[in-house]
Amino acid sequence: MHNAMNHCLKGASSLDILRQLIGFDTTSARSNLALMAWVQGYLSRHGVKSELIFNEDETKANLYATIGPAGRAGVMLSGHTDTVPVTGQHWTRPPHSLSEDNGRLYGRGSADMKGFIAVALAAVPAMQAAPLHTPIHLALSYDEEIGCVGVRRLIESLRQQPIKPGLCIIGEPTRMQVVNKHKGKLAARVTVRGKACHSGMAPEGVNAVNHAARLIVWLEQQAKKRQQQGPFEAGYDIPFSSIHTGTVQGGTALNIVPDHCSFVFEMRNIAAEDPRDLLAELRTQADVQLREMHQLDDSCGIDIDITSEYPGLSTAEDSEAIAFVSQLTGRPAPGDARLGNINFGTEGGLFSQALQIPTLVCGPGSMDQGHKPDEFIEQCQIEQCQAFMGRLIERLSIP
């Protein structure tokens, strides 16, 4: 009988590869090309061709590779190679070199999400050796952490292909639970331009801080309305769309009526809501205030600019994709499989909305450790993911 698991153990181990990947500082602000060059070298040593899809100034790239028969849909394993910064965090270990301690593997990106990428790459020799009837695609992206930016170029390139993957597994950390949905997100900056004057003459100025404050309160009212009246969607810790203002800057001195104030806010929306609708309502509210502002000065303004946006993921609970991936986790029959729940976004919404690829999130480690100092992944999570890859290879091979 063909045993994919044994092949897994022959190539470089997941641990060796994870050590390599963590050694590259791929904070989103930096280039990921050195890491990608290493991955390309590794893949080519195992006879796998890969393609890089670059950003505009060719400082970063996505990677796409196919193992197994060409011209068939296949299963795409997707991960981002960038990480959040360590700046301002108190690490007690070197963030960009793997350290092992008591069953835990420490390093920036260990959980989010170089652990998954390492396991997928370690399984490549087994994929190559297996008689695959259905191909496995590797899709590695850049600039995920700054709003799923990089993967959009990969999606455009996949759109050109005659046959698209039939299933996408995003290996973000879910402790290997199958997750079929997450919220979408829209973040925007609001900039209010008022009219300055001496504070003793306040009624002759246009106070930008006051106008920004009114918009912030309006957003807070929208947030409360959703909390009380919905719409609601089960399966989330926060079962409605949340709206939140994060930072505000405005004014220069107490004795000057401020002519400038800006703030950033976000909406994390459930499937029933389109955050662009909130944006349109905010615009209407801003226009009401603007008419008031223009009575004093025509040059006043309120700009609303989207700073990042990605769609939510919502894969039907009765989909074949869930049954298939649940089996790979080694958990009970698909009907019994409990779906996991995550409070963060992934590139999955883009794959499923832009390309209609059934998409699920399932990967090793936990986001409890992601983005934090002394980020780690448990060795046993890596082992569970190795078993998952072994089952995937078996399911896609000729018996």
Q: Which residues bind Zn ion (CB under 5 A)?
A: 112-113, 172
| Nearer to Zn ion among residue 17 and residue 117 (C-beta) | 117
3-class state of residue 201 by DSSP? helix
Q: Which is nearer to Zn ion, 74 or 345 (CB)?
A: 345
Query: Cβ closer to Zn ion: 143 or 172?
Result: 172
* Nearest residue to Zn ion, scored by beta-carbon proximity: 112
3-state secondary structure of 308: strand
DSSP summary character for residue 175 = T
42 and 28 in contact (C-beta within 8 Å)? no
Choice between 172 and 233, CB closer to Zn ion: 172
Give kind and range of the element (H or E) at residue 197.
strand 197-198
- Tell which residue, 181, 355, 215, has the closest CA to residue 290: 215
Minimal distance in Å, beta carbon 172 to Zn ion? 5
Q: Which residue is listed with tokens 């990089």?
A: 150
CA distances from 242 to 187, 219, 231, 340 (A): 12, 10, 11, 20
Q: Given the structure tokens 């991936």, which residue do they identify? A: 325
Distance CA 193, CA 207 (A): 9
Q: Which is nearer to Zn ion, 80 or 193 (CB)?
A: 80
Alpha helices in the chain (DSSP H): 4-10, 14-23, 33-45, 115-122, 124-129, 151-160, 208-229, 275-294, 320-328, 348-355, 379-395
> Which token pair is 35?
């890491």
Residue 62 vs 222, nearer CB to Zn ion: 62
Please name the residues in contact with 65: beta carbons below 8 A apart, sequence gap of 6 or more. Answer: 43, 48, 49, 50, 51, 137, 138
User: Between residues 81 and 128, which has the closer beta carbon with respect to Zn ion?
Assistant: 81
At 110 the three-state DSSP class reads helix
Is residue 239 within 8 Å of 232, Cβ to Cβ?
yes
Residue number with CB closer to Zn ion (7 or 114): 114
